[in-house]
């Protein structure tokens, strides 16, 4: 017996997160509707002009801002950045190199280094255990 499959849908906020865009900057019809899995796939495969513009110019959601600046989301908050930023604002911050940004980038670099060290150590232990 086959069950009828309904199209999987998601809230606009979830779709915006998956697309890496700031929801309040999306068109009203996107914000007010629901997005099916097929529609999301179509948006990713062939983004409309509004989506290309948002991805290029912003405003960008905090995870994207953090990635573009090379810091964590917590680092953004510690630096006083709590709102979405445009690409232009992100570039201006990179040029200014405020003290908090330098500090957070250094912290992020240390975190990455420590994560790599722990991963390597876990791999060595797994290798020893298999011998």
Per residue in 58-109, pLDDT (tens digit) is 999 999 999 999 999 999 999 999 999 999 999 999 999 999 999 999 999 9
Query: Under the phi-then-psi rule, with left for phi > 0, alpha for psi from -120 to 50, and beta for the rest, what region is 7?
Result: beta
For residue 10, CA distances in Å to 15, 17, 37, 113, 116 come to 7, 11, 8, 36, 35
The Cα 36–Cα 14 span in angstroms is: 11
- Asked whether residue 110 carries a pLDDT value surpassing 70, the answer given is yes
User: Rounded to 5, what percent of the chain is helix, strand, coil?
Assistant: 70, 5, 25
**Exposed, middle or buried by CB within 10 Å (0-12, 13-18, 19+), for 30?**
buried
Instruction: Report angle CA 94, 97, 103 to the nearest 5 degrees.
Output: 115
* Mean pLDDT, range 22-30, rounded to an integer: 93
Instruction: Report angle CA 84, 89, 93 to the nearest 5 degrees.
Output: 110
Q: Are 90 and 60 in contact (CB under 8 A)?
A: yes
């Amino acid at each position: 017996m086959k069950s009828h499959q309904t199209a999987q849908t998601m809230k606009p906020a979830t779709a915006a997160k998956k697309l890496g865009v700031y929801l309040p900057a999306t068109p009203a019809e996107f914000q007010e509707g629901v997005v099916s899995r097929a529609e999301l796939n179509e948006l990713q495969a062939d983004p409309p002009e509004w989506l290309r513009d948002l991805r290029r110019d912003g405003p960008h959601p905090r995870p994207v801002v953090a990635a573009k600046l090379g810091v964590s989301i917590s680092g953004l908050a510690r630096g006083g950045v709590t709102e979405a930023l445009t690409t232009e604002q992100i570039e201006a911050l990179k040029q200014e190199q405020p003290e908090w940004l330098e500090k957070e980038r250094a912290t992020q670099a240390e975190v990455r280094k420590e994560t790599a060290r722990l991963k390597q150590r876990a791999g060595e232990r797994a290798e020893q255990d298999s011998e």
